Structure formats: structure tokens, C-alpha cells
Amino acid sequence: MKSTIIVISFLIISLCNSKLGNTQCTVTAYASHESVCAGDTAYLSAQYSCDSSIMYIGFNSGELGPDVEAATGVMFTNPCDTGVSPAGPHCWFGSAASFPRYLSTNAMNISTNGTISFLMRYATDENSVDCEDPEGPTEGVHLQYALPPYTTWQDIQYWTPNWSYSGPLYSWNFYFVSIPAAAAGTSTKLRWYQDLSTGNNWDHWGIDELRINNTAATSVVWSNGVSGFGTQSVYPTQDTSFIVTVTDTAAGITVSDTVFIDIMNDATEIFASDCDSYLAPDSSIIHATGTYQYNFPVAGSCDSIVVVHFTLDAPDIGIISDSSTLTAVDSNCTYQWVSCPGFVIIPGATNQSFTPTTSGQYACILTHNGCVDNTLCYNAYPAGILENTFGSNISVYPNPTQGDIVVDFDETIDVMNIAVRELSGKLISEQTYYNTKHLELNIDAEPGIYFMTIQSPQGNALLKIARE
């Protein structure tokens, strides 16, 4: 796949806040590549600062300056063929740099709400003696701090190289690190330190735009929804602008910046929908709603990219049941309720919910955007008398009830057992009655649907009671 690297251009936006006089804050958005093939990786980062910073070093004069010291032999231009720092001159540790390689600040008064920001990159193997990549896991750069007497240095962060010398470490990227509580002090030193290397002709790196800030930004939000200063990977398939916005309540300022990534081969986009599936450009079958990307290699050029946005239009065949009423889950359909097992159409039963007048099994035929499917069959039991084998009628009232219920028979029943159960079958109450045709009961339970069974030598009955 072709991957083009272009020197990064960027815009700095500064806003003044009238409450803080001349205080200015800036944010700069960076992209590792301004131009990429569709679907390739670009790394985004941002740098934020206010003019109240404790220290700022840009190396633009081609020298270290009074606030830092470094190993001898550092360079201030990048000898590599590509990857020139977006900020211009920078501090480069190539083959002439003495070992161990380091860049150390003078003692500073810093606090725990401070931040350290800088641009850094590891070299890549570009056939130049000063551009050999750090590839071993121990050949990277440590960010460290020390307190007086500066005999012990502690790691704040370490950037581990990889054998493929790929990823954001190997192009200029911005890093934003909070100062840990243990590093706070009136005379703290910071350093970037490489203690292990294959040799001076190997494992080179550079640093630029070093800034120690007094306070951390309150919020950092990118237009693609990612938060924070950390480097993020993006894979655009169309020309895309990425905007970073920083709100700093300490400074009372909001600033933003935009970086634009040009796509050399805009992807072909297909929007498709179907009741069941879709035949993808690579002849695979798509069964679920989603966005799918397909790459087709083109010799000597960017891949041909096809992006398929597929929507499965099949209706949701889920059913919600309270045992007396069935409700289709999908609210964006037309409905036809049927009785099972023969799927006999029930005239007029065309609403999302259906309450049958007799016990049985029922299903719903759903139609959505021309796609037709049916639910499974579900039992439904209307409230009232579901079964009665007594030789006389039974009356049950009120039903629904708030707890008290009356059961009347046309004749006296010698002995009967009455049990009340939940839909799950859990027994709520059970009692035996003698020589009666009129019963007053109380269902002492939570609102819901309950079944009452009446068993007697004279007959049996099954009642469905709705407790409000």
C-alpha cells in the first residue's frame, strides 16, 4: 500500500481573555501525515500552552539555550530524509551525540497541577548514519525527574520501541504528561534520557517544543469525539478536518485548532439495505447492520477502497407478554395477529398489542420496509375463567382486583381446595373450604397476573386473576 509523508503544516489560534489582561493560550493540532491513502493510519496530537508557562524551549535559534543542558554532539537539524519537525529546528541525538544521551532542565519550582508537553520522534532506518531507528525494547527514551541532591532519577514515563519501527513513536508526535505528586518541589529537574543503545551509530531520536506548564487544561475534545492530549490513531476514508478544542478554566480561555487530512483515493461508498443479507464486494455475505470496508490492492498506487453501509431491514420478531396481552417489540411495522398453529388471521387484530378473548397460542406477522417475518407462537390467557368442569356456573369479581376477590357458585360445593400461584408456578396461598357456594378471598401479593385453581370431587376450575 502506498503511504505518502508530507511535512506537516499547522495553524495556531490565540485568544485573549479580558479578565486576565495579556494572558494568551494556544493549542496546535498535529497530524503525522497530511496526505494518506484511504483507510491508512494517521496519528493526531495537540499541544497546548499559556504564556504563563514555567519554561519553554523551541530550539529555533539552533542552540540549547540557558534553561537546559544536553549530551555533547547534539544537532539542531534533522538529517533524515523525511519527518522534519513541524516546529522547525529541534534537538536531534544522532551519531555524534555522546552517550548516555540526555536533555536535562535546570531546577524549577513546579507543582502537581503542572504538565510537561513536547514533540518527540524516534528515527526510522533511512540509510543515513544519523537516522537509525531505536528498535529494541530497552533502547527508548525515559522521561525522568530528580529532587536535590539529584543523585536518584525516577521514571515518569518510558516510550518502548518496537522491532517494526512503526506507529506514532516513529514520526513527530506531541506528548502531554502530568507532573506526578512525587516530583513536586521548589528545585525539581526533568530529563529525557536514553541509557541503552546498540552504539552511537544507532537508536537516534529528537525532541522539540519543550514546555512546562503551570496548570493542566480542564478539557480537551476532538471533533471525532476523542478526549485528551494523547496521540490517537485515525483511519479516514474521505478528506477530513479534525478540530481540537481546549477549555482551560484556570486561564478562563477556550482555544481551538484544525488539522486537515487529504485522502489521495477517496473511498467508494455504497448504501444498501435488505430483508436478509447483502453480497459484499469481496463476495462475502453481510448479515448485520453496520459499516464494512474492503481494500482491493492496486499496483503502484493506493488501494481501491469500497465502504459498504448496510442496514438490515428485517423486523424485530421479539414479543413482550404479560400472559393476557401480547405486544410486538418492533414499533415501526404493520401488524397482523394470527392464531397458532395454523397461522389463521384474526380479523381486525392489526395493532402492536393484542389481547385475545380466549386462551390459546398466538403470533404476529410483521411487515417493515417491505420485509415480512413472523414471531414465534406465545400462550395468552385472558383474565377470568380459563377452565370449568363444575356442573354449574362460576362468577369471579372484581377482576382485575386490588386484592379482595369473590368467587360464587350456583350450587353448594361440599369440599374444595383453592390454591393461588404466580405465573412461574410459585405457590402464594392454599386453603380448603367446606359446604359453601360463596367465597371471599384476598390475594396478598404484588400487582401482577395469578392463577387460581379450584379442585373438588364435584369438578375443577382454573381462574386467571389480575392483581392491580
B/e letters for 373-386, b = 16+ CB within 10 Å, e = fewer, are bebebbebbbbbbb
**65 and 150 housed in the same domain:** yes
Residue 113 inside a domain? The answer is: yes
B/e letters for 184-213, b = 16+ CB within 10 Å, e = fewer, are bbeebbbbbbbeebeebebbbbbbbbbbbb
Residue 31 structural domain: 13-263
Residue 4 inside a domain? The answer is: no
Give the per-residue pLDDT at 51.
65
- Contact criterion met (CB below 8 Å) for 116 and 218: no
The CATH number covering residue 456 comes to: 2.60.40.3080
The CATH number covering residue 237 comes to: 2.60.120.260
Residue 247, Cα to own-chain centre: how many angstroms?
A: 22
**357 and 428 housed in the same domain:** no
Only one residue has cell 377482576, namely 399
**251 and 139 housed in the same domain:** yes
- Contact criterion met (CB below 8 Å) for 429 and 453: no
**208 and 283 housed in the same domain:** no
The domain tally of the chain equals 4
Residue 290 inside a domain? The answer is: yes
Torsional sign, CA 330, 333, 334, 340: negative
Residue 2 inside a domain? The answer is: no
**333 and 403 housed in the same domain:** no
Residue 109 inside a domain? The answer is: yes
What stretches of 230-359 adopt beta strand conformation (E)?
Answer: 232-234, 240-248, 253-263, 268-274, 278-279, 285-286, 290-296, 304-312, 319-321, 326-328, 334-339, 344-345, 353-354
Give the per-residue pLDDT at 251.
67
Give the per-residue pLDDT at 1.
38
What stretches of 73-204 adopt beta strand conformation (E)?
Answer: 91-93, 101-105, 108-110, 115-122, 141-146, 154-159, 173-178, 185-194
Give the per-residue pLDDT at 70.
94
Tell me 401's DSSP state.
B
Residue 8 inside a domain? The answer is: no
| CA–CA separation, 351 and 335 (whole Å) | 6
**152 and 167 housed in the same domain:** yes
Q: Rounded to the nearest 5 degrees, what angle is found at the Cα of 83, between the Cα atoms of 190 and 173?
A: 45
- pLDDT tens-digit profile, the chain (468 residues): 333 333 333 333 333 222 333 457 888 888 888 888 888 888 898 888 776 678 888 898 888 988 999 999 998 877 765 556 677 788 999 989 998 999 999 998 887 667 888 999 998 876 667 888 898 999 999 999 999 999 999 999 999 999 888 888 988 888 888 889 899 888 999 999 999 988 888 999 999 989 888 766 678 899 999 988 778 899 988 899 999 998 877 667 889 999 999 988 877 889 999 998 999 999 999 999 999 989 888 876 788 888 899 998 889 999 998 767 899 999 999 999 999 989 999 999 999 999 887 777 899 999 998 899 999 999 877 667 778 888 777 888 888 788 898 988 888 999 999 999 988 889 999 999 999 999 899 998 888 888 899 999 999 988 888 888
**137 and 241 housed in the same domain:** yes
- Using the 3D structure, point to which of 350, 380, 410 is the last residue of a domain: 380
**420 and 373 housed in the same domain:** no
Torsional sign, CA 99, 118, 206, 156: positive
**63 and 212 housed in the same domain:** yes
**118 and 254 housed in the same domain:** yes
- DSSP state string for 38-65: TT--EEEEEEEEETT-SEEE--TTSS--
Radius of gyration of the chain (CA): 37
| CA–CA separation, 364 and 319 (whole Å) | 9
Residue 83 inside a domain? The answer is: yes
**228 and 338 housed in the same domain:** no
**336 and 402 housed in the same domain:** no
Any bridge partners for residue 456, and if so which? 459
Q: Rounded to the nearest 5 degrees, what angle is found at the Cα of 209, between the Cα atoms of 52 and 26?
A: 45
- Using the 3D structure, point to which of 333, 360, 380 is the last residue of a domain: 380
Residue 221 inside a domain? The answer is: yes
- Using the 3D structure, point to which of 198, 232, 263 is the last residue of a domain: 263
